[in-house]
Amino acid sequence: MEDAGFVIGSYVVVLGGIAVYAATMISRARRLARRVPDADKPWT
């Protein structure tokens, strides 16, 4: 593929950025969830 570095790099930036954000956010949410009683979680 012509310009493969730029094309694949753009997919890596987008999907990698979203994956890192999602992993960080969900792992923090899990840590917080352990310290909050279920009564304060309207979705449970």
Residues lying near another protein in the complex (CB under 8 A) are found at: 1-4, 6-11, 13-15, 17-18, 21-22, 25-26, 28-30, 32-38, 40-44
CB 42 within 8 A of CB 33: no
Please, what is the minimum distance in Å from the beta carbon of residue 17 to another protein?
5
Please, what is the minimum distance in Å from the beta carbon of residue 4 to another protein?
7
Please, what is the minimum distance in Å from the beta carbon of residue 12 to another protein?
10
- The per-residue DSSP string of 1-44 comes to -TTHHHHHHHHHHHHHHHHHHHHHHHHHHHHHHHHS-GGG-TT-
